[in-house]
Structure 1
Amino acid sequence: MVSHRSTKGASKARRDHINHEIRNMRSLLPISQEDQERMSYLHSMAAICTYIRKSVLFQGEFCKLIAS
């Protein structure tokens, strides 16, 4: 007899974990708590990625200035 285990619980656990991590990263953004709470998860991820890219870019520019 083949047992078919439901993956519904595992899928929900994964989604909950992803949403928790997005909330954690969103809390690190330099924006007000009110603005953070209004952001969807999609907008949060876009803002987080933009913030990381800019941080890396400006850090590289800062390192070039120090090396000069």
Structure 2
Amino acid sequence: MVSRRSTKGASKARRDHINHEIRNMRALLPIVQEDQERLSYLHSMAAICTYIRKSVLFQVGKVQNILTEF
């Protein structure tokens, strides 16, 4: 007899953890609280990724500007 263990609890815990992290990252976005709360998790992730890409792009631009000054 093969024992089949339910992974329902583990899956829920994993989803809860992911959702918690998304809420934490969404809170860091430079938008007002009401707009943050209206974002779905998918839209939150899209906004977070866009914010990170722009931050990295502007940091690279600043570093390149500093290097070209010397």
The answer as to 2:52 corresponding to 1:44 is no
- 2:20 is aligned to 20
Task: Give the Cα separation in 1 of the matches to 2:5 and 2:36.
Answer: 37
**TM-score w.r.t. structure 2 length?**
0.93
Count of residue correspondences: 68
Task: Give the Cα separation in 1 of the matches to 2:21 and 2:15.
Answer: 10
Measured after TM superposition, the shift of residue 55 of structure 1 is: 0.4
What residue ranges of structure 2 are gaps of 5+ in the alignment?
none
Moved over 4 A (4+): none
RMSD after superposition: 0.6
**Aligned-residue identity in percent:** 82
What residue ranges of structure 1 are gaps of 5+ in the alignment?
none
SS of residue in 1 equivalent to 2:17? helix
SS of residue in 2 equivalent to 1:31? coil
The answer as to 2:6 corresponding to 1:6 is yes
AA matched with 2:56: V
